[in-house]
């Protein structure tokens, strides 16, 4: 039956709450450590489309008192230059988090760059160590978009445990981490992708559908189980407008709750990235304090001689 009043799961109010908490954490970090948490964004070639997204992250950092900087490398930078820039940032104690602009130019191997990031500073969860921690159910850094896709459900009070969830997309940065997070929340999860035989049949079984395929109109209202909850991660430009992967007009008639695009997962992604950064800063500061106290007994012994 048509349900024109599907609840709109908006990211902005949740993001505002998260940012307010981050601003407080930043003040307390500053009081303890004498400096704000620091983020570095490595950019290879200024004209890539993702620069707009990264500039938004920089503005978001400024608003909550985080020190953020672009480390800009020439568009023709070699793999070695990029890796060496990352290593410098790893060694800089005022930089707590490192993000690298994606996609990289085709001449640079993704794996080499990802491996170079210190896992303790990998606030977008792309290093294999953090991916492995998520896979094993341990605490690590989560890819912010996948985190946002599941966090929007949790913070909106949507029940996840025991429900059938379908994730459309199996990328390392969105689909797969979202699926692992849903498993961690006790959902029964099916991952669909470009070779899935009957996508509509999979979608029809699902209480929760997370769509991250990069195909506008991939999921229509007629595909959904009535009352399903739909999280649309897709970002596509169609006729100069930003749209998701879900045909919103038809889906809103059938779903019980749905995220809009823009205004759903996107704002939450940016806010969660800030929480990851503050956590990275706090953990590294704690590790440094522990390392410093471990040295103390030796110093005391030397004084006794």
Binding site residues, ligand NAD, CB under 6 A = 145, 168-171, 173-175, 192-194, 196, 199, 212-215, 218, 233-236, 265-266, 269
Which residue has its beta carbon closest to ligand NAD?
171
Closest to ligand NAD by CB, 213 vs 254, is 213
Q: How far is the CB of 197 from ligand NAD (least distance, A)?
A: 10
**Contact between 211 and 218 (Cβ < 8 Å):** yes
> Do 183 and 135 meet the contact criterion of CB atoms below 8 Å apart?
no
Q: H/E element holding 81?
A: helix 79-91
Pick between residue 185 and residue 232 the one whose CB is nearest to ligand NAD. Answer: 232
CB-wise, 119 or 175, nearer to ligand NAD?
175
Pick between residue 101 and residue 145 the one whose CB is nearest to ligand NAD. 145
Residues 185 and 150: beta-carbon distance below 8 Å = yes
Comparing CB distances to ligand NAD, the nearer of 27 and 237 is: 237
Q: At a CB cut-off of 8 Å and minimum separation 6, what does 143 contact?
A: 124, 125, 126, 172, 173, 174, 177
Question: Residue 85 CB, nearest distance to ligand NAD (Å)?
Answer: 23
What is the distance of C-alpha 263 from the center of its chain? 15
Give min distance, CB of 150 to ligand NAD, in A. 13
């038809």: which residue's tokens?
250
How many angstroms separate the Cα of 131 from the Cα of each of 46, 123, 153, 178, 283? 28, 12, 21, 11, 18
What is the Cα–Cα distance from 189 to 269, expressed in whole angstroms? 22
Q: How far is the CB of 49 from ligand NAD (least distance, A)?
A: 10
Q: Please, what is the minimum distance in Å from the beta carbon of residue 161 to ligand NAD? A: 24
């Amino acid at each position: 039956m048509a349900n024109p009043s599907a609840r709109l799961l908006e990211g902005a109010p949740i993001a505002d709450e998260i940012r307010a908490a981050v601003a407080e954490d930043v003040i307390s970090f500053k009081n303890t450590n004498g400096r704000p948490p620091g983020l570095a964004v490595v950019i290879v070639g200024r004209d890539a489309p993702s620069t707009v997204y990264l500039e938004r992250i920089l503005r978001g950092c400024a608003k909550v008192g985080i020190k953020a900087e672009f480390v800009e490398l020439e568009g023709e930078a070699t793999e070695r230059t990029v890796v060496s820039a990352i290593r410098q940032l790893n060694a800089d104690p005022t930089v707590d988090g490192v993000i690298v602009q994606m996609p990289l130019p085709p001449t640079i191997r993704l794996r080499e760059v990802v491996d170079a990031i210190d896992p303790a500073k990998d606030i977008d969860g792309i290093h294999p160590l953090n991916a492995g921690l998520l896979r094993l159910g341990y605490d690590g850094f989560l890819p912010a978009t996948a985190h946002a896709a599941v966090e929007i459900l949790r913070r909106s009070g949507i029940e996840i445990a025991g429900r059938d969830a379908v994730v459309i997309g199996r990328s390392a940065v969105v689909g797969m981490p979202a699926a692992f997070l849903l498993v961690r929340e006790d959902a029964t999860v099916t991952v669909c992708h470009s070779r899935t035989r009957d996508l509509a049949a999979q979608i029809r079984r699902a209480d929760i559908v997370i769509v991250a395929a990069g195909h506008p109109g991939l999921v229509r209202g007629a595909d959904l189980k009535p009352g399903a909850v739909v999280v649309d991660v897709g970002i596509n430009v169609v006729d100069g407008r930003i749209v998701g992967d879900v045909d919103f007009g038809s889906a809103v008639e059938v779903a019980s709750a749905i995220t809009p695009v823009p205004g759903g997962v996107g704002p939450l992604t940016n806010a969660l990235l800030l929480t990851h950064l503050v956590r990275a800063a706090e953990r590294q500061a704690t590790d440094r304090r522990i390392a410093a106290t471990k040295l103390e007994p030796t110093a005391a012994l030397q004084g006794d001689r």
